[in-house]
Structure 1
Amino acid sequence: MDSGAIRRRPRRRLALAAAVLAVSGAFALTATGTAQAAGPAGGCAGREVKTLPFKTGVTHVYKRNGYICAVTVARTPGPLRTMSVSVQARGNRPVVDKGRFRQHAGPVTVHAGRRCVWIKGSVGRYSVSSGWILC
């Protein structure tokens, strides 16, 4: 090897390190912006287009640029209990977030375009189902 090749390797490593640092900084800025936009909705962006209340909770539905996002929020946050939220664009399978949570299930986002969507939400043994909406 000549001495020129040896001198170029540190430059390549430095360039790679700078690129990794720049990309990680961009992700950090993106995550911060998303968190600020999320607010009380639990992570959904866009405007609220539907509220589906039921005895133990509320499922909020948001729309932005053809994407539908939903989150189910318990009326009284507290102990772990079974919660779920589901969004299904017509012609596709539902996207579901189900588990044991204290405050909310979701957010769940799907690209619906101009298709109808079916939203479901549950907290404990009570639930709500929208039928086909936003057509």
Structure 2
Amino acid sequence: MGRAGAATRRRLALGTAVLSAAALLAVAVPQEAQAATGCAGRKVRTLHFATGSVLVHKRGGYVCAVTVPEKPGTKRQMSVSVRARGGRAVVDSGRFAHRAGPVTVHAGKRCVWVTGKVSKSSVSSGWILC
């Protein structure tokens, strides 16, 4: 085969290495995001309010939400809820330092209503993701 065959093998090996690295990055990034919020799937909304934010993720027919405070580290009253139209709300409420949630509902193709609260400030989405 000679030089031409060796060069082709090197190019194939380099291409395989680049594709493998890209695949590893594609898999690693969503897992890091999931570890930070506890929700699987892609982030579809961020609902900001004075003392924090609610991060809304979607994967398949499931919607997941987490409330995070603007300044984490101090325990304070927090809550998060998600309700699919026609269903009951799933709620996590209590005194937390870093986040309330995650809470997940199966929404299918139905709209969802998301709320979040940190201390006395809150947000309510109205019907979204319809």
Per the normalisation by structure 2, the TM-score is: 0.74
Length, aligned pairs only: 100
Task: Give the match for residue 132 of structure 1.
Answer: 127
Task: Provide structure 2 residue ranges, at least 5 long, that are not aligned to the other structure.
Answer: 1-30
**Shift of residue 89 of structure 1?**
0.2
Q: Residue 95 of structure 2: which of 82, 97, 100 is its match?
A: 100
Q: Residue 66 of structure 1: which of 53, 61, 73 is its match?
A: 61
Task: Give the match for residue 104 of structure 2.
Answer: 109
Per the normalisation by structure 1, the TM-score is: 0.71
Describe the shift of the 1:37–1:79 C-alpha distance in structure 2 as closer, same or farther (beyond 3 A).
closer
**Shift of residue 110 of structure 1?**
0.4
1:100 & 1:88 partners in 2: Cα distance? 22
2:34 & 2:128 partners in 1: Cα distance? 23
**Shift of residue 58 of structure 1?**
0.5
Percent identity, please: 64
SS in 2 for 1:38: helix
Q: Residue 43 of structure 1: which of 35, 38, 41 is its match?
A: 38
After TM superposition, where is structure 1 displaced by more than 3 Å over at least 4 residues in a row? none
Q: What do residues 63-86 of structure 1 show as CA deviations (whole Å, max 9, x unaligned)?
A: 001000000000101221000000
Task: Give the match for residue 119 of structure 1.
Answer: 114
**Shift of residue 37 of structure 1?**
6.4
